[in-house]
Structure 1
Amino acid sequence: MMNLRKIIAIGALAAISQLSAAETQLPTTAIYDLGSLDTMTALGLENHVVGVPKQGLPDYLQQFNDARYTDVGGLKTPDLAALKAVHPDLIIITGRQAGKRDELAAISAVKQAGISGDDYWHGLSENVISIATIYNAQDASKKALSDLEADIEATKKHINHNATVLVVTHNNGSLGLREDAISSQLLGLKTAQIPAHVESHKRGTRTFTPLTIKDIAETNPTTLFIVDRSAAIGDTKNALNLTKLKAELAAQGAGTIKVAYLSPKLWYLSGNGLQSVRMQVKEIADAL
């Protein structure tokens, strides 16, 4: 096994690339970040994947349900025994697994993927290139990003920029505002202004803005996009009743709002990858 743990511990990502180049075999990886998984797939690097959280896989990543890939637990419940058995050189995680980071780092090197800051495209590009660098695939990643950017620009030419959008997350009957960089930053769509009386609440480092049907009716976006957390995590009995929601909007005098139900696992469990971002852009554009 390559000694990646010490390298990542001191933050020397460039050193990983140099080490990889010096070895005849590139590092194997277990991936909990589904966006990183679809990026590796887009770059033709899936042969280096040895473990994935199979219960959280969206439809577009179902090829990883194959027996050649070890099931390494849930997105919030990594299977440490399975990880030890497959013994990857690298484990890629997100904030969902951050609480288990020390336990994971005791098994293999850990890289936490994520996008921060106000420039989504810059963060996405850095994320993609950082993964590609580990596998000496920088040129391929830059080409893929260029193609994705061109696809987004082409999409923007054919959408209604007079539209206002509102993106919400549904969870067990409750709705909350969702800050969405795909619609606002990548596609340049205007987010509808929520009423001034709506209050946000802090829970630790996170901010939640609950919305009622009446609040959404007052906001009156051209299109309401819904990410259904309940459906994404398999809580089907509490998944959104779309017919009921539309009826409730109509009862509030907001029946003209177009309601678009986004692919739950793609939007709630995945994202920030070369494939997922392309699909998310298409879903938004197609629904306008």
Structure 2
Amino acid sequence: MKKLALLMSLIFLVVFAAACGSDSEQTAVASEGDTTNETTTDEEVAEIEVEHQLGTTTVPVNPEKVVVFDYGTLDSLDKLGVEITAIPQDSLPSYLEKYEDAKYENAGGIKEPDFEKLAGIDPDLIIISGRQSEVYEDLNELAPTIYMGVDTSRYMDSFTENVELLGQIFGKEAEVEAELTAINDEITALNEKAIAKSENGLIILTNDGSVSAYGPGSRFGLIHDVFGFAPVDDTLEVSTHGQNVSFEYIAEKDPQNLFVVDRNKVVGGENSAEKTLENELVQKTQAYQNENIIYLSPDYWYLSGGGLISVAGMINEISENIN
């Protein structure tokens, strides 16, 4: 009987120990699961406060559903490998034509967002610029909305701040730093060429036969302010739409370099920039006679600009075309 009792006791102890071990393992697994859940939750609610031209917005870090109305921001995100959900598809620059694909939602017009479509998307973040500023409050009611247009009066500082912010939001700080370093090196090289050339320039936009001029601090003023070309006229009004000028004005100012943005190439129209400027008055200028009329890409300069791809393209366009 004593042997039987001893055997039963041993069996009981083995069963009890096994049960305790199982409970401990389950507790450990449960604890590990709780830790994982807490980490995931922390990542999901990570946010930053963004101060921008139209207000202050709380923005989620690494948002999944992103709607972009600013093409400069779109080209930066494209360069950084960040996927977006929706974009206005009716006036995309040609170098961003891949976003016409059906896998991207059409967010509406560049000035008239499709609010019904956006509500269905339920975005985590909306990024806008000047063309959508009037509907900012309406968009901000749908999702966190930030303004990321470039301030042309301080172009490079504003551009740098914008792409660094994108780096923070999407966890691409190192990539942004590398891209900015390359762009700044290219600007330094262009500055050296412009200073060595020591010539002035005039920036114009042609639109179906009419001509507008832009000076320092204007929409295209970085050619003077950043790239280093002296303005042939530093009294031009600072305006998004430029100052209307005549062919007589161009002949009188006689620029050594004429930088031309052809709006008709992207919006349509009968008169190309080449056709508009092919007249006796323009032909008298130093720019024409020395073959220093530089036709700039309206995709970069008119539709987009302020992005990692477009700014690099703008620099290269000027650098490759100055004699």
Give the shorter-chain TM-score range: 0.7 to 0.9
Give the match for residue 78 of structure 1: 113
Query: What amino acid does structure 2 have at the position aligned with 1:166?
Result: L
Check if 1:35 corresponds to 2:35.
Answer: no
For residue 9 of structure 1, report the CA deviation from its aligned partner.
8.6
Aligned to 1:165: 201
Cα 1:55/1:248, change in 2 over 3 Å: farther
| 1:27-106 mapped onto 2 (5 Å cutoff) | 27-45=64-82, 47=83, 49-106=84-141
The partner residue of 2:314 within 280, 284, 288 is: 280
- CA-based RMSD: 2.9
> Which shifted more, 49-58 or 257-266?
257-266
Aligned residues of 2:262 and 2:273 also touching (Cα < 8 A): no
Alignment of 1:193 with 2:229, yes or no, is no
Paired position in structure 2 for 1:26: 63
User: Deviation of residue 270 (structure 1)?
Assistant: 0.2
Q: Identify the structure with the greater helix proportion.
A: 2
Aligned residues: 270
Q: Does 1:181 align with 2:209?
A: no
Q: Which residue of 2 aligns with 1:144?
A: 179
Task: Normalising by structure 2, report the TM-score.
Answer: 0.74
1:229 equivalent in alignment to 2:263: yes
Aligned counterparts of 1:36 and 1:145: Cα–Cα separation in 2: 14
Letter of the 1:182 counterpart: L
Cα deviation per residue 1:171-229 (whole Å; 9 max; x = unaligned)? 232211223233123211111127x7xx85x9xx8674211001011111112111122
Which has the larger Rg? Answer: 2
Whole-Å separation in 2 of the counterparts to 1:3 and 1:29: 16
Judged with a 3 Å threshold, the aligned counterparts in structure 2 of structure 1 residues 4 and 173 are, in CA distance, closer, same or farther, namely: farther
Structure with greater contact order relative to length (CA < 8 Å, sep ≥ 6): 1
On the 8 A contact 2:207/2:264 being kept in 1, the answer is yes
Q: What does the per-residue CA deviation read over 1:7-33, in whole Å, with 9 as the maximum and x for residues that have no partner?
A: 6699666x63xx52xxxx633211111
State the shift of 1:52 in Å: 1.0
Identity value in percent: 27
Q: What displacement does 1:77 show? A: 1.9
Gaps of at least 5 residues in structure 2 are 1-43
Q: Which moved more, 1:248-257 or 1:206-215?
A: 248-257
* Cα distance change on mapping 1:97 and 1:155 into 2, 3 Å: same
The answer on whether the counterparts of 2:211 and 2:245 sit within 8 Å (CA) in structure 1 is yes
Shift of 1:167: 0.7
Tell me the equivalent position of 1:126: 161
Q: Secondary structure at the match of 1:88?
A: coil
Structure 1 stretch displaced more, 223-232 or 140-149:
223-232
The residue identity in structure 2 corresponding to 1:264 is P
Equivalents in 2 of 1:230, 1:92: separation in Å? 27
